Amino acid sequence: MKKYLHHNFILLVYATILTICNPLYFSKLSANELIINEKPGFLSPFEDEKGDIFTLSDFKGKLLLVNLWATWCEPCKDEIPSLEELQKNFDKNTFLVLPINLDRGPKKKSITFFKQNNINNLKGYFDDKNKIPREVKILGLPVSIIIDQNGIEIARLIGPEKWNSEYFINYIKGNLF
C-alpha cells in the first residue's frame, strides 16, 4: 500500500510539473488568432510537382501567404478551398498563396486532393523533408505565415481559418505595397 501511494505521489508531482512548465498554458495566444510579428522569413527550400526547387527569394516583390498543410490533417484539407477563394480576389503578380504540403512520401496524395476538390487557382508545393516546420518552429498543422514583399514574416496564424473572409481580404489589401 505504501509503495502504491508513493508511486501515485510521484505521478502527481510529474503531472504538476508538466502542467506548470508547459509554455502553452502561459501563452495568451490561442489558435486562430493572427499573430503580428516581424522577423526574417524562412530559408528552407521547397519544390513543386516537377521537382523544381524554390525559396522565398524566388517570390520577392510579392506578398505571400504560405500555408503549411498535410493530406492527413483534416482541418488542413478543410482550409484549402478558402485559400483557393482568397487567391481569386488578387492578382498573382502582387499576392500569392503558397500551399506547402508536408506529407512524407509521394506527392500523389496532395496532387489528387487538389484535383478532386477543383483547386485550380493554387499551385502545390512540397517539403517532404519537413525542413520548414523545424525552421519556423511550429508544433502542429495547419499554420499559415504571411511574408511581405521583402521576404520578412509579418504575421502567422495557427490553426484552420476561412481565408476568404472580409477580414483577411482587407488585411491582405492593407499589406499590398
pTM of the model: 0.82
DSSP per-residue string spanning 116-133: HTT--SS--EE-TT-HHH
DSSP-derived secondary structure letter, 89: T
Domains and CATH numbers, the chain: 30-174 (3.40.30.10)
Q: What is the pLDDT of residues 45-65, one digit of tens each?
A: 999 999 999 999 999 999 999
Q: In whole angstroms, how large is the CA radius of gyration of the chain?
A: 19
Q: How far apart are CA 168 and CA 166, in angstroms?
A: 6
Rounded average pLDDT over 169-174: 96
Q: How far apart are CA 68 and CA 142, in angstroms?
A: 6
Q: How far apart are CA 144 and CA 113, in angstroms?
A: 19
Rounded average pLDDT over 33-44: 94
Q: What is the pLDDT of residues 91-142, one digit of tens each?
A: 999 999 999 999 998 999 999 999 999 999 999 999 999 999 999 999 999 9
